[in-house]
Amino acid sequence: MSNFKGEINADKLLHVAVLAFPFGTHAAPLLSLVRRIAAEAPKVTFSFFSTTKSNGTLFSSSNDHDDKFLPNLKHYDVHDGIPENYVPSGHPLEPIFLFIKAMPENYKCVMDEVVAETGKNITCLVTDAFYWFSADLAEEMHAKWVPLWTAGPHSLLAHVYTDLIREKIGSKKEDNNATVDFIPGFPELKTSDFPQELINDIDGPFPTMLHKMGLELPRATAVAINSFATVHPLIENELNSNFKMLLNVGPFILTTPQPTIADEHGCIPWLNQHENSSVVYISFGSVVIPPPNELTALADEKGSIMRHKILKLKEFALEAVEQNAVLAFPFGTHAAPLLSLVRRIAAEAPNVTFSFFSTTKSNATLFSSPNDHDEFLPNLKHYNVHDGLPQNYVPSGHPLEPIVLFIKAMPENYKCVMDEVVAETGKNITCLVTNAFYWFSADLAEEIHAKWVALWPAGPHSLLAHVYTDLIREKISSKEQVHDANLDFVPGFSEQKASDLPEEVLYDIDGPFATMLHKMGLELPRATAVAMNTFATSNPVFENEWNSKFKLLLNVGPFILTTPQRMISDEHGCVFDTFWMECIVGGVPMISRPFFGDHKLNARMTESVWDIGVGVDNGVLTKESTLKALELTMSSEKGRIMRHKILKLKEFAFEAVQQNGTSAKNFNTFTQIVTG
């Protein structure tokens, strides 16, 4: 009995410090992993350290759904390294460089405060693998160190062998086609396949950090990695020989609960209408997209239609010789597609000023340094509007309360900041580009003598329901069986019933959100143009109806780059992507278009080692290279073999995360190390 009590008391003294890298997609998977461990070890204290901005996103009310059940997990803010009165230089990586320079002191001072606050010494460091300094820090505090590498095993091995690679390549580094065949587990590579930080740009803060990481990781108690056993045995063996312990604890896409994404565009029903292996899914992630000429090559004939519509939007922007005000709806997936569209127009119209307005929280996500390619768009600047939350606001717990409060604050929250921007820039607003929700833009545009272009990012059918709201309510309200009432009086809705309508159209009609949508339907016909996330011929009946309702309809979709990821499966075709793990789990071949970092290595592995994908010629999407890659993956014998191989890897991945699978066992080992 005393031994048992001793174990409990020992557990209570354990304190795990989690050090996250607050940029890109590094912090979220680390937090997900730690949440799993914290749930398994409720007596152990977990302290999560990241920047205020990063924690604000990770532990926001919308994401922080399970931490009320994890009282042993608490987050703390570390300094982001940005000086007081900081004026950005415009370099997109500057915030990362400043943060790296602030390490490790920014972590150490807050960790000391937390130790004093909790009365518990830190017994284990769980960190992003980037944090080379954790080796000395763990030794200094007599703690364990377990770093997490969130990318693939092949890129990690390249960083471990950085010195060897630089020594062997030496004077050949300027030759992109120089052969590299001396790294165990790799196919014959070219120097151009390696991340820039290994070969060329070796002296900056980021390359220095990665180099130090490769040197220090062998000192870690264990190295956890987002992979699974059998995905590449040779590389796994090599990593095992370099580390004290290697723990494959992935794929995270299978081991970590994925957020449920509303299928508001009807992707799944649409996919299910098509034959197996007949659909191509296109994604470039959240950080970067190809240049316009490559997107055009992808879109082909539909691209020419979309290009015409985009040019029409560009005309409105170019006519606006002063500035365009972009008003985003800061919830859900509304702001991102509007910003993407505006970025494209801003790139086409470099002499026109674009001012993007959203809440602080929304802008912090949209314009975070990894996503912010706007150093190439000096004519696009973002501004924060008030979110409508009262001072000392205490949430009631209702998930829609922030949206309701924001709607109540409109349009005054936008107008006051817009007035400030006009005064600051000395340029009047001559065009409003807004979310279609913003009914008030009709009067506002009229008041300031500006054009109004509204964007509806969802499907055409739902917008038609909102435009016909009054008619629908009039026709249906008196019917006894409202739920089953037919909607054949709305063009294109002959097969629909009232129960198919959004609740705001017929049922919940008095709330702020329903009122906003009702007003939107009434005011959109006043817009200079209405842009929609669809394409010509997707539904001619709807399109004809729109053309009769609006001054100008612009089909500028489909927004293929904002389609939810991880919704595809092996029955649907192939993928344009650089995320090899998602493709394995999805069971679909990959067409790679690398951009930066480890993308080229990923592409080489998928094509030359696993044989589950192809690259596009010269790494550029042209009509010819795209058609060639599509033909190979979709309709050739080689493509059939790829599918067979990738399904085998998918099988291994799923086996790894089962109860007795290798990744599941490694997670248990990970937990024991951290909490033991």
Query: Where does residue 196 fall: left (phi above 0), alpha (psi -120 to 50 degrees), or beta otherwise?
Result: alpha
SS3 18: strand
| 193 among known catalytic residues | no
Residue 481: is it exposed, middle or buried by C-beta count within 10 angstroms (0-12/13-18/19+)? exposed
Q: Where are the beta strands (DSSP E) in 508-589?
A: 529-532, 553-555, 573-577
Give the Cα separation of 511 and 408 in Å (integer). Answer: 11
* Spatial contact of 222 and 238, defined as CB atoms under 8 Å apart: no
Is the Cβ–Cβ distance between 180 and 154 less than 8 Å?
no
CA-based nearest residue to 456, from 541, 558, 364, 539: 558
Residue 75 three-state SS: strand
For residue 426, the SS3 value is: coil
Name which of 287, 335, 305 is nearest 457 in CA terms.
Answer: 335
Contacts of residue 249, defined as CB under 8 A and 6 or more positions apart, other chains included, come to 33, 224, 225, 226, 255, 663, 666, 667, 670
Q: What are phi and psi of 74, to 5 degrees?
A: -135, 145
Q: Other CB atoms closer than 10 Å to residue 325's CB: what's the count?
A: 28
- Which residue among 15, 67, 75, 128 is the active-site one? 128
Are the C-beta atoms of residues 329 and 361 closer than 8 Å to each other? Answer: no
463, 501 Cβ separation under 8 angstroms: no
- What's the token pair of residue 429? 């607003």
Residue 128 is encoded by which pair of tokens?
């992003």
For residue 441, give the H/E element and its range. Answer: helix 441-447
Burial (Cβ within 10 Å: 0-12, 13-18, ≥19) of residue 255: buried
Nearest CA to 322 out of 207, 245, 418, 197 is that of 418
Catalytic: 26?
yes
As beta bridge partners, residue 127 has: 19, 147
**Active-site pick, 15, 26, 159, 599:** 26
Nearest to 617 by CA among 294, 328, 369: 294
Nearest to 453 by CA among 471, 435, 469: 435
DSSP result, 369-418: TTT--GGG-TTEEEEEE---PPTT----S-TTHHHHHHHHHTTHHHHHHH
Catalytic residues: 26, 128
